[in-house]
Amino acid sequence: MFYSNEHEPIHVHGKYHAFESKADFIIVDGKIIDIKIKNAKGKRPLPKKELKEFKNFVNKFKEDIVQKWVDYFVYHKSVQCIKIEGKVK
């Protein structure tokens, strides 16, 4: 998820109950070259199992996540939420 007052670098948050981590996208020349998983400020990090699922999700949908972030925060477009059921592998 994104918070409505986000800041750069482009990133996305993963939440599970009271736990939260975030994934920062490192982009060079328009290409995602790395994804850094970090703790969200003031929150307890995702537990091991949920962190693994978050990493899988971010890796699978990285291009879509970055595009939605740019659409919303740069171009001020409305973005649609996508419901994903089941585990992402």
pLDDT in tens, 6-63: 888 999 999 999 999 999 999 999 999 999 999 999 999 999 999 999 999 999 999 9
Q: Which whole-number Å values give the CA distances from 57 to 8, 29, 31, 71, 77, in the listed order?
A: 20, 23, 18, 20, 23
Note if the pTM is more than 0.75: yes
Give 40's DSSP letter.
P
Largest CA distance in the chain: 36
The domains of the chain are located at 11-73
Pairing state of beta strands 19-28 and 11-16?
antiparallel
9's tokens: 């670098």
Q: What is the pLDDT of residue 3?
A: 84
Give 6's DSSP letter.
-
15's tokens: 């939440």
Q: What is the pLDDT of residue 87?
A: 78
